[in-house]
Amino acid sequence: MLTSFFGKSIPLNYLILSIFIVAGYLLGTISGSAVVITPYLFFLHGAFIVLSVLTMLLLDFIIKKNHLTKNNTFAILFFTCFMVMLPVIFVQYKILLANAFLILALRRIMSLRSDKNSEKKILDASFWITIASLFYFWSLLFFIPLWIAIIQKPNSSYKQMLVPFTGFAAVLIINTAYRLLINDSFAWFFNWMEPISFDFSKYNSPSVLMPATVILAFYIWTGVYRILKLSSVSLKEKSNYLLMLYISLTALFVALLGPEKTGAEILFVLAPISIIAANYIEGFEVDRYAKKDLSEFWFKEIMLWLVVVLPFVFLLL
C-alpha cells in the first residue's frame, strides 16, 4: 500500500523519488532531443538534475523543520510526481532556478513563527526572493506572504516590516555593480520587468493540458478540504495553516503573470500544492480508516496510485 510505504520517512523513499526525478528528466528532455550531447551539455544536464533532486530534498527539510506535515514523505511524493508529469519544466532553466530560490525563501518565511533571529530570517527571505526575480520577475510577489508572515509572527514590529527593502536593495546594488562591470550598462534594469501574457495556446497540447488539469484538480479538491477544516485547527497552528494557503495563491499568480505560458510555470505552485495535498492524505489514520471507512481508505490509496502512474502515461503523449 502506498499510504503505508510513503507514510514513513525512510532513506529508501528519498532514493526512489530521486531516481524518479532523474528518470523523468532523462525521458522528458534528453531522450526527446536530437542534439548531440557535448561535455558542456552533459555538465549542464547533470547540474540541473542535481538541482531538481536538491530542491525536492530542501522542500522535505522545510516541511519537517516546521512540522508542516506529519513524519511522512507524502508531500515530496506529490512534488516529484507532479514535476515529472510536466517534463517541459526541466528545459526551462530560469524557472528551475527561480523556484529553487523561492523555496529557500519559503524556508525562512515558514520559520518566522519562531521568534529567534527574526530580522536575519526576514533579510534572508527577501534576499532569496529578489534573486529569484532576476530569473523570473514576478517572483517578487512572494514579498506578499513574507509581509503576512511578519505580521503574524510573535512580537512583530514596524521595523521588521522595513527589513525586506534592505534585502531587495542589497541584491539590486550587487547585480547592478556586476552588470556595469561586465556590460558597462544599466540596460538590464529596464528589461527586468517581464510583460504579462495570457496566451495559453501551448496548453492545447495534451502533454501540457492533461497534467495541468490533474494538478489543478488536486489543488481545488485539497484546497477546499483545507478551508473546510480551518475551524478545527488549533489557534496555535492556524496562522501557519492559513499562510500556506496564501503562499499557494501567490504562487498561482506568479505562474499566471509570466511572460510565456509553456506549462513550466506550473512548477511555482507545486511545493504549496504538494504540502496541502499531503495534509489531505494524512488527515486520517490508515488503520483506523481501513477498519472504519473502507471507501475513504481506498479513495486515497487510488489517488496516490494515480499520482505515481500518471507521469509515465503523460510521458508517452
Q: What is the pLDDT of residues 150-189, one digit of tens each?
A: 998 877 788 889 999 999 999 999 999 888 888 877 778 8
Cell of 95: 524557472
pLDDT of residue 35: 57
pLDDT in tens, 58-80: 999 999 998 888 889 999 999 99
Domain boundaries defined on the chain: 2-315
Better pLDDT: 317 or 220: 220
Look up residue 71 and give its amino acid: N
CA angle (216 as vertex; 304, 292 as ends), nearest 5? 35
Does residue 286 surpass a pLDDT of 50?
Answer: no
Span 231-259, pLDDT tens digits:
887 777 788 888 999 999 999 999 999 89
Q: Which of 64, 75, 139 is nearest to 101 (CA)?
A: 139
DSSP-assigned letters across all residues of 178-234: HHHHHHS--HHHHHHSPPP----GGGGSHHHHHHHHHHHHHHHHHHHHHHHTGGGS-
User: Looking at residue 139, what DSSP letter applies?
Assistant: G
Q: Which residues contact 282 (CB under 8 A, 6 or more apart)?
A: 7, 69, 70, 72, 74
The predicted model scores a pTM of: 0.92
Q: Pick 30 or 190 by higher pLDDT.
A: 190
Helices (H), 89-141: 93-110, 118-135
How many CB atoms are located within 10 Å of the residue 299 CB?
11
